[in-house]
Structure 1
Amino acid sequence: MKEEYYYLGLMLFTISYPLAQSFESRIYYYKKWYALWPAALISAFVYILWDHWFTVQGVWWFNERYILGWYLFDLPLEEISFFFIVPFACIFIYEVLIYFMEKDWLKPLGKPFVFFGVPVLFLLGLYHWDKLYTSFNFIFTSLLLLGHFLIFKDRILGRFLAGYLVSLIPFMIVNGVLTGSWIEEPIVGYNNEENLGIRIGTVPIEDSVYSMGLLLLNISIYEKILKRKTIRK
């Protein structure tokens, strides 16, 4: 594959299996797309604004070696697609886990997760106010988590946590490639003055919180539109 197709190829690889399995007779993921795509569109709008701002501020940048060079709002089109493809794949994982896990094993952790996670993320964001990615990411995600809890209580938090934890595996692999694992240079470069400088492999630790917020916002809107009558306990 030519190097300029790396980011595009990574996105196509990410969506390939979930898309192929969307019509599988047990999950019928495609029947929920009426809730998925509005959720992805609204969430993408929020995160693309954030992405644009951080790109302009030099918090991160994109390596022209690995992209096609087509831009919208100063962002490569591959980056725009990220905010639709990654939620598509992650919510697919969320739905698969709901189907195969009859009991919501992590529901007891929902409230403690909120009561611990919201203040910790918020305070860490304030403490690292001088680091734009860390501060904004942590504070924004803490507010998303609080807002979700005020609307849904702990009804789907256990299911969300299960989906988030499982989705972290492919997410970190994808982000590993984006940040330079297994290739000569990163596709997305980070300004370490704007983050904690702590990496999981090549992935900034902040990306795990970023992933949580992105998935939580998508699932919150998705479930609100879906109005799922019951999620098995």
Structure 2
Amino acid sequence: MKYIYLLINIGVILFPFALSFDKKVHFYSKWKFVLPAILITGVVFLIWDLLFVKLHVWSFNPKYIIGIGLYGLPLEEMLFFLTVPYACIFIYECLNAYFPANTLQKYSLAVSNLFLGLCLAILFFGYNRWYTLINFGFLFFVLAYVEYVNLEFRFMYKFFRAYLVSLIPFYIVNGYLTSIPVVIYNNQENLGFRVGTIPLEDHFYLMGLLLLNIYLYEYFKSKSSKTFAA
């Protein structure tokens, strides 16, 4: 029972890692961009996670973790910021390789604006709840930066496609984590709306996590291309 969360982490990364050597995607050749993106984003989210543990926004069921951790943060939760981003960036690259044409590109800015407006609306009603405030505030600023400040490279049309596909394993994995539960939420610090057993905020937590990872991934690829061209 104590290995449940650890086994979930292994399951999340197992197939993406094994398929990283696919001849069409060549994902292993992009590890030099993937790993720094994951590490930088991981630091941000680990600080966020540690803060939430201290603020009692969420906690972890001791029955399903091995008991090794840092300042109350289980090892499995730290691994989560490696395994989930790796799997999601893998999905992103697979979609780009197998479906390079994207006729929805022209709608990406409108979709981004819709989410920016949604973030502001939810912040208006939920600013007094820690999870809601930090989650939607973070997503708002990252999304606004990517769309309106970052003008060097554009990828949001590909991002939204990958996010939608990533929701499939998200519902499986997070549904299991929240139904046992492995992660226990303090409902005083979120809106109280759930999809099944998954808090509404978790959907946008995934979006923010994936967006920062893919932005950094594309940033490092862009810098590498410019260096090579020079």
TM-score range, shorter chain: over 0.9
* 1:156 equivalenced with 2:162 (yes/no): no
Runs of 4 or more consecutive aligned structure 1 residues displaced over 4 Å after TM superposition: none
Which residue pairs with 2:125 in the alignment? 127
- Give the CA deviation at 1:153: 7.3
Distance in 1 between residues matched to 2:17 and 2:141, nearest whole Å: 31
Task: List alignment gaps of at least 5 residues for structure 2.
Answer: 226-230
Which residue pairs with 1:27 in the alignment? 25
Which residue pairs with 2:218 in the alignment? 223
Among residues 172, 182, 188, which one is paired with 2:183 in the alignment? 188
Distance in 2 between residues matched to 1:87 and 1:152, nearest whole Å: 24
Distance in 1 between residues matched to 2:125 and 2:192, nearest whole Å: 15
Deviates more, 1:83-92 or 1:129-138: 129-138
Percentage identity across paired residues of the two chains: 42
* 1:167 equivalenced with 2:162 (yes/no): no
SS of the equivalent of 1:61 reads strand
Q: CA RMSD in A?
A: 1.4
Distance in 1 between residues matched to 2:177 and 2:31, nearest whole Å: 27
Query: Contact 1:125–1:137 (CA<8 Å) still a contact in 2?
Result: no
Distance in 2 between residues matched to 1:4 and 1:105, nearest whole Å: 46
Which residue pairs with 1:61 in the alignment? 59
Which residue pairs with 1:4 in the alignment? 2
Which residue pairs with 2:142 in the alignment? 144
Q: Which residue identity is paired with 2:208?
A: G
Distance in 1 between residues matched to 2:31 and 2:71, nearest whole Å: 26
Which residue pairs with 1:212 in the alignment? 207
Change (3 A) 1:154 1:172: farther
Instruction: Output aligned runs, 1:58-97, within 5 Å.
Output: 58-97=56-95
Query: Contact 1:59–1:133 (CA<8 Å) still a contact in 2?
Result: yes
- Give the CA deviation at 1:116: 2.2
Provide the aligned length of Structure 1 versus Structure 2.
223
- Give the CA deviation at 1:154: 7.8
Instruction: State the Cα deviation string for residues 56-92 of structure 1 (Å, max 9, x = none).
Output: 1000000000000001132000000000110000000
Query: Contact 1:137–1:206 (CA<8 Å) still a contact in 2?
Result: yes
Distance in 1 between residues matched to 2:151 and 2:4, nearest whole Å: 39
SS of the equivalent of 1:151 reads coil
Distance in 2 between residues matched to 1:201 and 1:121, nearest whole Å: 22
Question: Per residue, is there more helix in 1 or in 2?
Answer: 2
SS of the equivalent of 2:181 reads coil
Which residue pairs with 2:194 in the alignment? 199
Task: List alignment gaps of at least 5 residues for structure 1.
Answer: none
Deviates more, 1:135-144 or 1:99-108: 99-108
SS of the equivalent of 1:21 reads helix
Distance in 2 between residues matched to 1:211 and 1:141, nearest whole Å: 10
Query: Contact 1:106–1:161 (CA<8 Å) still a contact in 2?
Result: no
TM-score, normalised relative to structure 2: 0.93
Distance in 2 between residues matched to 1:55 and 1:164, nearest whole Å: 27
Query: Contact 1:105–1:158 (CA<8 Å) still a contact in 2?
Result: no
Distance in 1 between residues matched to 2:153 and 2:111, nearest whole Å: 10
Query: Contact 1:126–1:135 (CA<8 Å) still a contact in 2?
Result: no
Distance in 1 between residues matched to 2:103 and 2:161, nearest whole Å: 9
- Give the CA deviation at 1:131: 1.2
Which residue pairs with 2:228 in the alignment? none
